[in-house]
Amino acid sequence: MSIHSPSVVAVDVGYGNTKMVCGHSIDKAGRSKWMELVFPSILSPVVVNEEAAGFGNNPDRVLIEHGSKSFYVGPKATSGFVPRIIEPNYIETQTHEVLLIAALHFAMRESNKVISEVEKLVLGLPVSGFAAQRERLIEIGQKTRTVPVPKHLQGQAGGATVKVKVKGCVAAPQPFGAMRCAAQGLPTTDPVFQSGVLSMVVDPGYRTLDWFVAEGLTPELKLSGSYDGGVSSILREISQQIGYDHGTGSLEFDQVERGLKSGQINLGYKVIDMAKYQPMVQELASQEIGTFLTRMGSRRDSLARVFLAGGGATYYEQALRERLPGCAVDVLPNPVMSNARGYWLLGCDALDD
């Protein structure tokens, strides 16, 4: 039996989505190709094992047993709305653990290899919790886990599950992944590499808004930080306003998010036009951006480059451009994946050390 293992797996376990990266290549035409996947950070309880009952296998979800409970996890874990529970000590939760197991499963699927050993597993933390939780996250990351094997690889693995050993775990402040990703394609003359010049990543996630400042790629953690806010804060305000306007009560945040993207929310008995609420998004985002910029004090005048990453990037782009008119503000390609891609690059850096 031959079991292959990618050297590096990067997992950005977020409150909104989990992002996994397990490889990168350049094709003959010079195009960049990432082995990666993003899926909702949702555990859908399993009432009936549909595969065992003969309903067929869905490769876009995996059944994971944890403790006495079973969950579907993945891009197609559920087609309905599942409320997200926001917990302060997220890395210690069952949700975090199950999502990490699922990410390793999908790393096998995307790389088309059975993974029994990972040289470097790269994980992240919000800036505000990094110093306090870094060592604990490394301990969690280095656990050996029993991971379901994709159906088409089970013959190679010799079973339906495989134990995955992690030889080393790297923990990073979440936005530093995006900074590393942004720097990968820049010329050495770019201000981001220059001493005395500050660059910043703004990473609005589901639960927190993180900002990370570096001077010549050297982290400036005293100028960096995070606070409770981000996308969930905006969605909460809009959900409450819709409830007041239409007598619906507060809607699920997922409903509001989809409505903002599509332009309407169809409740069956009522269709809500979301055009009225788009200006609220910009106003709320501008308030959050203004709050953290004041914490930088006079050092904000040294900012030369600002990179925008994360799932909430589109909500905050206009606010950043208005608040920082003298800065180059760049939304990173595929901002949802930028932290995880940077994590993967950091893992490769660690292999070379």
pLDDT digits (tens, 9 = 90+) for 289-313: 888 888 777 777 778 889 999 888 8
| Greater pLDDT, 253 or 57 | 253
pLDDT of residue 149: 96
Average pLDDT of the residues of the chain:
88
- What tens digit of pLDDT does each residue of 192-228 get? 888 888 899 999 888 888 889 998 888 888 888 887 7
**Residue 147: pLDDT above 80?**
yes
pLDDT of residue 80: 55
Residue 107 pLDDT class (50, 70, 90 cuts): very high
Widest CA span of the chain, in angstroms? 64
| Greater pLDDT, 90 or 21 | 21
pLDDT of residue 79: 55
**Residue 1: pLDDT above 60?**
no
Inter-CA distances, 21 with 35, 135, 202, 315, Å: 6, 22, 21, 24
87 burial type by CB count under 10 A (0-12 exposed, 13-18 middle, 19+ buried): middle
Residue 156 pLDDT class (50, 70, 90 cuts): very high
Q: With contact defined as beta carbons under 8 Å apart, do 263 and 275 qualify?
A: yes
- CA dihedral sign of residues 282, 330, 15, 78: positive
Task: Give CA 100 to chain center in angstroms.
Answer: 12
Q: With contact defined as beta carbons under 8 Å apart, do 175 and 210 qualify?
A: yes
Burial code (b: 16+ CB inside 10 Å, e: under 16) for 292-301 equals bbeebeeebe
123 vs 20: CA distance, rounded Å: 10
Query: First vs last Cα of the chain: how many Å apart?
Result: 31
Average pLDDT over residues 115-139: 93
pLDDT of residue 108: 96
Residue 126 pLDDT class (50, 70, 90 cuts): confident
**Residue 323: pLDDT above 70?**
yes
pLDDT of residue 4: 42
Average pLDDT over residues 29-33: 84
3-state secondary structure of 308: strand
Task: Report the range of poorest mean pLDDT among 12-21, 229-238, 295-304.
Answer: 295-304
**Residue 109: pLDDT above 90?**
yes
3-state secondary structure of 115: coil
pLDDT of residue 54: 54
DSSP summary character for residue 92: G
Looking at the chain, the whole-number percentage of residues with pLDDT higher than 90 is: 56
234 vs 189: CA distance, rounded Å: 38
Instruction: Report the candidate in 97, 171, 77, 159 with the shortest Cα–Cα distance to residue 130.
Output: 171
85 vs 78: CA distance, rounded Å: 16
Measured at the alpha carbon of residue 316, what is the angle toward residues 43 and 184, in degrees to the nearest 5? Answer: 80
121 vs 225: CA distance, rounded Å: 24
104 vs 124: CA distance, rounded Å: 16
Task: Give CA 316 to chain center in angstroms.
Answer: 16
- CA dihedral sign of residues 158, 39, 211, 128: negative
**Residue 337: pLDDT above 90?**
yes
Our CA dihedral for 62, 65, 66, 70, rounded to 10 degrees, sits at 90
Average pLDDT over residues 140-169: 96
For β-strands 303-308 and 198-204, DSSP reports them as parallel
Q: Give phi and psi for 8, each to the nearest 5.
A: -130, 135
pLDDT of residue 50: 65
Q: Give phi and psi for 136, each to the nearest 5.
A: -65, -40
Task: Give every CB contact of residue 104 below 8 A, 6+ residues apart in sequence.
Answer: 9, 11, 115, 118, 145, 147, 164
Task: Report the range of poorest mean pLDDT among 51-55, 267-271, 311-315, 339-343.
Answer: 51-55
53 burial type by CB count under 10 A (0-12 exposed, 13-18 middle, 19+ buried): exposed
Domain 8-176+340-352 superfamily per CATH: ATPase, nucleotide binding domain (3.30.420.40)
pTM for the full model?
A: 0.87
* CA-only gyration radius of the chain, Å: 21
| Greater pLDDT, 53 or 235 | 235
- Of the CA atoms within 13 Å of residue 275, those in its CB half-sphere come to 1
208 vs 134: CA distance, rounded Å: 17
**Residue 47: pLDDT above 80?**
no
